[in-house]
Amino acid sequence: MTFAHDPCAMCERYTLNRPNLPAGHGWCTAWERVTPWHGQIGVLFKEARDRAPRARYVAQQQDKTNETEKS
């Protein structure tokens, strides 16, 4: 899976620090809602400074998606 844009997980406003999130989802503090890691970014996208750990998270999620598609 390749992206024409950064996924939601690369936004400063995307966080995993919230209880009871479904797998592969985070909390969008801009829209105040649960958002999938690969969601389409919106006008409130703000590039996160901590890109390296987020890129690792995105890679993990992509691997999980690819494994599911192969099954």
All domains in the chain, ordered by first residue: 8-70 (2.20.70.100)
58 neighbors 37 (Cβ within 8 angstroms): yes
pLDDT at 2 over 80: no
pLDDT in tens, 25-63: 999 999 999 999 999 888 999 999 999 999 999 999 999
Residue 67 token pair: 């494994």
Residue 64 token pair: 């999980």
Residue 59 token pair: 């890679």
